[in-house]
Amino acid sequence: MAGQGTGFYHPLMTPGEAPEPSKDPASQTPLPEFAKPASAARVGGALGVAGCCVGMLLFLAACAGFEAALVLSLIPLILGLVGLVLVLISHFRRAQDTHESDVVFALFVCFLAAVGGLLEVALWRGWPILFGMQG
């Protein structure tokens, strides 16, 4: 029959006729990096980066005089803590698709987001941070 076994579709093929899958190893390329499923460490790192960005925006808004923006300071704290939990779970599960540099970066960023969020909560609630500071 025309077109059978050629590896492409031809309009003259009958409906039950399917082309053979290609046996060429060059045609079976791996998925690009962005198409692979994200590991828990990378998701935790992304939450940490988001927490740092939100925290920086809140801090800049508070410095500009919008002190009501500090009400949202729980967002970077929660993002940082959830990211830390995800990274630690991923690290202790010993996922094969995560590199040590991914885990270290995610831990660092999530720690920064959590500490920055905690400092913003302290500013919002009026907690004394430094010695001799009045609340």
Which pTM value belongs to this model? 0.69
What is the C-alpha separation between 67 and 79, in angstroms, rounded? 21
Which pLDDT band holds residue 74 (cuts at 50, 70, 90)?
very high
Mapped onto helix, strand or coil, the DSSP state of residue 34 is helix
Cα 115 to Cα 79, 93, 119, 120, 122, distances in angstroms: 11, 25, 6, 9, 10
The range of the structural domain enclosing residue 104 comes to 38-125
Residue 29 lies in a domain: no
Inside any domain, residue 100: yes
As for how many domains the chain has, the answer is 1
Q: Higher pLDDT residue, 2 or 127?
A: 127
Q: Domain for residue 103, yes or no?
A: yes
76-110: pLDDT as tens digits: 999 999 999 999 998 888 766 667 888 899 999 99
Residue 104 covered by a domain: yes
Kindly tell me if the per-residue pLDDT of 30 is higher than 90. no
Indicate whether 32 belongs to any domain.
no
Confidence class for position 23, pLDDT limits 50, 70, 90? low
